[in-house]
Amino acid sequence: MHRHTLHSPPSRVRRAAALLATGALIGGGLLVAPAAFAAPAPDAAPGDLGLTGADVMTHLTELSDISESFAADGYRVWNGPGYEAAAAYAEQVLEGTGAFTVSRQSFEVPTPEFGEASLTVAGTTYVGSHFDLSEGIDGDYTAPLALPTDADGAHLGCEAGDFATVPAGSIVLVQRGICTFEAKIDNATAAGAGAVFVYNNERPPEEGTTPDDQLTNVASGPRDENDSPAATLPQASGDAVAALIVAAPADAPVEGTAVIEKQFLVTESFNVIADSVAGDPDDTIVIGAHLDGVAEGPGVNDNGSGSAAVLALAEKIAASETPNDKRIRLALWSAEEVGLLGSTAYVDDLLANDPDELNRISAYLNYDMIGSENFTVGVYDADESTFEAPVEIPEGSVEIEKVYTDYFDAIEQPWIDTEYSGRSDYQAFIDNGIPAGGLFSGADDIKTEEQARLFGGTAGVFMDRNYHTVNDTLANVNRDAIDIFAPAIGHAAFALAWDAAVEPSPEPTPGEPSPEPTTEPTTEPTVAPTAEPTAEPTAAPSPSPSVTGGPAGGPRGGGLANTGSDVEGSPLPAIGLGMLALGLIVAAGTVIARRRTQQ
């Protein structure tokens, strides 16, 4: 998984959507239910197409085996044989349903080859590392060093004004944190920086690691040849150089020599796209997950888990006795781990060559990591009730968030907001005004005590201690998380692609029996992480708990979780028995009402 912000295309197709629900008139007034779906029986969830964790695990086991068999070739890295084998397996599954037409969409990837990355100051050479798609230097570059400074005296470089006193041509040292690497490099470039080094910030040490670990395998957005050359430094190196800069007199700044050796080749990769045979081709729901992983590990959670869910969902869509009313397009993206390139190439191609088809997409649902070993149940925070989004959120995304949260409330499953950051494959869609939402079980965010009380697991450590490491294996996938997320994924597809409720299809015979769920990883990580996660830290602090929130408890802004029910045994808000006796009719389904306007 990558969570970083990409540049928006120069022109955008603006889409808007609103979720429509049917209410019930009671005593002459309109009573709106908290969820847009019929209340489930105590032992049944609202329409979820019968998708289960066991269904997902069947495909996740296969993807794990494929990844492990290509360990010597970078597991499931986007340009390796493991990705090709995983894609072939996915195509076989999708075609085998008989309900989808399957194709490959090829695209070109700028592929970097790395050499030395270093900064030499006062006779000391500080060894750095590379961003994946940032620019390099032809030879070396010597210039005065400078620090951006914000109003609080920090050197984060998140605002253009932080560089007001940085002389053009400087080698700029920027601290990691708050905003994306891409934003820091963009701001430094706008200030005329000759080179940029981003140094690590302090992070809680994990077993076998220190806060000074080198930043490796990190993304800075798509390649922009106009950007200043950029690389990374460990925290201790950055702190040492920053101290030298601060100590130098204003009329005699300390100088440094930057070496960032890099060249770009062009390589081809492909996405797997599957269109449902059923459904209105003028109204398409796209559901996607990235199939590639990092070269450092098998990537079973990141993102074999989301990919396996998409494959299991395809089988449930095919098995439904009532065909979907809207066309469902399933997408398995490539090259997400090097900058969201597959999903971006897909959207950019439609924008350039078939904008009408792009305009037919009424929603995008994204699944990137749903089996984190120290998981939380995260829903993309489109209404910004907990996190202020660093991206523009398309109209209709709030309603998609409610599809998930109303579902979890109905089954009394706790959930939390996760930042609507655009740092996964939904970025290109929201850049073009397409409503989007999704689920996320956590990566390198620290689990809080309150989250541990809600979801189990261990507070004070990462939600996935195996993220981007050799330990991202099937043994370390949390089955409880898969069992929670799977039916929610089926429910969201049902809610958006069917115009009315359908009866769940009979349960198919499962492939392999699933093991008992566990709240802890089967195997503890055995080695220190080999690569720094690509995600930037969340700017907002962990939300405070609001376990009993929900419709009867008022707005949930800032609340940690919403368990839904305020009446034992019912997902509806507390209302008088007399009202219930009048026969509350809760909406049976939802539809996306699309505004076909462009800006």
Cα(597)–Cα(247) distance, rounded to whole angstroms?
A: 57
Among candidates 3, 57, 50, 87, which has minimal Cα distance to 477?
57
Cα(132)–Cα(230) distance, rounded to whole angstroms?
A: 10
Residue 366, strand partner residues: 288, 438
Please answer whether residues 147 and 155 qualify as being in contact, where contact means their C-beta atoms are separated by less than 8 angstroms. Answer: yes
The string over 548-565, giving b where at least 16 C-beta atoms fall within 10 Å of a residue's C-beta and e elsewhere, is: ebbbeeeebeebbbbbbb
Among candidates 527, 509, 422, which has minimal Cα distance to 473?
527
Burial degree of 506 (CB within 10 A; 0-12, 13-18, 19+): exposed
Cα(333)–Cα(291) distance, rounded to whole angstroms?
A: 6
Tokens of 166: 């940085």
Tokens of 474: 């099937």
Please answer whether residues 32 and 40 qualify as being in contact, where contact means their C-beta atoms are separated by less than 8 angstroms. Answer: no
Cα(7)–Cα(221) distance, rounded to whole angstroms?
A: 8
Amino acid identity of residue 230, one-letter, is A
- For residue 466, the surrounding DSSP H or E stretch is none
Count the residues in the chain.
599
Amino acid identity of residue 235, one-letter, is Q
Among candidates 193, 174, 157, which has minimal Cα distance to 239?
174
Tokens of 351: 């924008």
Residue 216, strand partner residues: none
Cα(405)–Cα(401) distance, rounded to whole angstroms?
A: 6
Please answer whether residues 314 and 308 qualify as being in contact, where contact means their C-beta atoms are separated by less than 8 angstroms. Answer: no
Please answer whether residues 433 and 521 qualify as being in contact, where contact means their C-beta atoms are separated by less than 8 angstroms. Answer: no
Residue 329, strand partner residues: 275, 286
Please answer whether residues 85 and 70 qualify as being in contact, where contact means their C-beta atoms are separated by less than 8 angstroms. Answer: yes
Active site (annotated) includes residue 336: yes
Tokens of 573: 């808000």
**Torsion sign over Cα 537, 540, 545, 549:** negative
Cα(449)–Cα(76) distance, rounded to whole angstroms?
A: 34
The residue assigned the tokens 């939904």 is 426
Please count the other Cβ atoms lying within 10 Å of the Cβ belonging to residue 125: 14
Instruction: Give the 3-state DSSP-derived string for 382-419, with helices as H, strands as E and coil as C.
Output: CCCCCCCCCCCCCCCHHHHHHHHHHHHHHCCCCCEEEC
Cα(165)–Cα(556) distance, rounded to whole angstroms?
A: 42
**Torsion sign over Cα 44, 48, 49, 53:** negative
Tokens of 262: 């890099």
Determine which one of 62, 135, 336, 536 is catalytic: 336
Please answer whether residues 485 and 517 qualify as being in contact, where contact means their C-beta atoms are separated by less than 8 angstroms. Answer: no
Q: Give me the torsion for CA of 66, 70, 76, 82, rounded to 10°.
A: -70
- Could you list the active site residues? 336
